[in-house]
Amino acid sequence: MIDSFCDIAGLQFIQKVKPFTSQLALRTGLVSPLTQALLARDLDLLITSDPIDEHPELQRLALLRDPIVMIVPNQYASGGNVTSAWLAENVPFVHYNRQSRLGSLTDLIARRLNIELNASYELDSTQTLLRFVQSGQGWAFTSALCLVRYPELLEGTQVISLTKGANARYLTLVCRNNELGDWPAKIADICRSIYADDVVGQMVAIAPWLDQQAFPITEMPAI
């Protein structure tokens, strides 16, 4: 699993899978190394934000929608009506590493919004990114799932809906086709139930409007 999902759902996942398996190895980390491990047959199943579309021979099961939000220091969001366009013009931006999935998604969103991000910092850790925002160094895009991991780092900031929830990342279960029987479907159902029954509630505690933006899925949205 990518670490943003494992940190929140890994324990519940192990508990739900344990009754029907004798041994399970769970590996977590960043998207790119895990993708390479799956392609090298070091992993059987991968829960990821990268559907690895360049390998059409793989099996994919859509899992969940993880909304992209803005996180802004209080001193820039006290009026309550701050926009991404105003922030881009007036406040430094804290960027995920551009080689990461969230980094590339950030650039895609900026192009959709027709804004130019004044990126003063580029970081590969959500924890560090949130600390920079919390200390007033700038604003950022991140995902609601990432926020659940660090609620203490949201003090002194505001979580603001981005484009009314139109932008999100999607988590997918990827595996080799026709090798694991009904296991992929079982694992996908477990992940969706954990997300719906536990994780979304933690998101809503951070920002109530996320209940309309975060939900399990069984099909990827049309591009």
Beta bridge partners of 93: 119, 139
Phi (first) and psi of residue 65, to 5 degrees: -105, 125
Q: CA–CA distance from 174 to each of 62, 77, 111, 187, 213 (Å)?
A: 9, 39, 28, 11, 23
The backbone region for 102, taken as left when phi is positive above 0, alpha when psi lies in -120 to 50, beta otherwise, is alpha
CA 154 to chain centre: 17
Report yes or no: 133 and 71 within 8 Å, Cβ to Cβ.
Answer: yes
Over residues 96-105, the mean pLDDT reads 92
pLDDT-derived band at 126, boundaries 50, 70, 90: very high
Q: What DSSP state is assigned to residue 2?
A: B
- What is the rounded average pLDDT for all residues in the chain? 93
Rounded CA-CA distance 112/105 in Å is 11
User: Is residue 160 over pLDDT 70?
Assistant: yes
- Report residue 149 as tokens: 């991991």
Give tens-digit pLDDT for 19-59: 988 888 899 988 888 999 999 999 999 999 999 999 999 99
CA 85 to chain centre: 23
Q: The domain 66-165 is classified under which CATH number: 3.40.50.720, 1.10.630.10, 2.40.420.20, 3.40.190.10?
A: 3.40.190.10
The pTM (predicted TM-score) of the whole model is: 0.93
For domain 3-65+169-216, the CATH architecture is 3-Layer(aba) Sandwich (3.40)
Rounded CA-CA distance 90/113 in Å is 16
CA dihedral 44, 66, 145, 57 (to 10 degrees): 10
From the CB of residue 4, how many other CB atoms can be counted at a distance below 10 Å? 25
| Sequence spans of domains, the chain | 3-65+169-216, 66-165
